[in-house]
Amino acid sequence: MPNLISSKRRARQIVVETKRNQPKRSRVHKARKAFMDSLEAGNKEDAETKFRTYCSALDKAAKHNIIKKNTAIRRKRRGKAKLMAI
């Protein structure tokens, strides 16, 4: 439990930020799951559309500092490699 006033304020801010960031974070997870499911099914056309959605979610999350920019780039690069392997 924080003792300082600034620590208490920061703890309150973390709760608000977490609540604000959760939908963006879950959007990335859902987009990745949909993309991976379409890859496993072997449907290349569907996987390409899901990949674009996944990239968009990653870019928006990186823009809002939910994930780091390089993390988004790395995940897009690995996703594209999996897409090209079909």
Q: Which structure tokens are listed for 52?
A: 């674009």
Residues 6+ apart with CB under 8 A from 49: none
Domain ranges for the chain, please list them: 43-86
The pLDDT confidence band at residue 86, using thresholds 50, 70 and 90, is: confident
Residues 6-64 have pLDDT tens digits of 999 999 999 999 999 999 999 999 999 999 999 999 999 999 999 999 999 999 999 99
DSSP secondary structure string for all residues of 29-72: HHHHHHHHHHHHHT-HHHHHHHHHHHHHHHHHHHHTTSS-HHHH
In angstroms, the CA 37 to CA 24 distance is 20
Angle at 59 between CA 53 and CA 74, to 5 degrees: 95
The pLDDT confidence band at residue 1, using thresholds 50, 70 and 90, is: confident
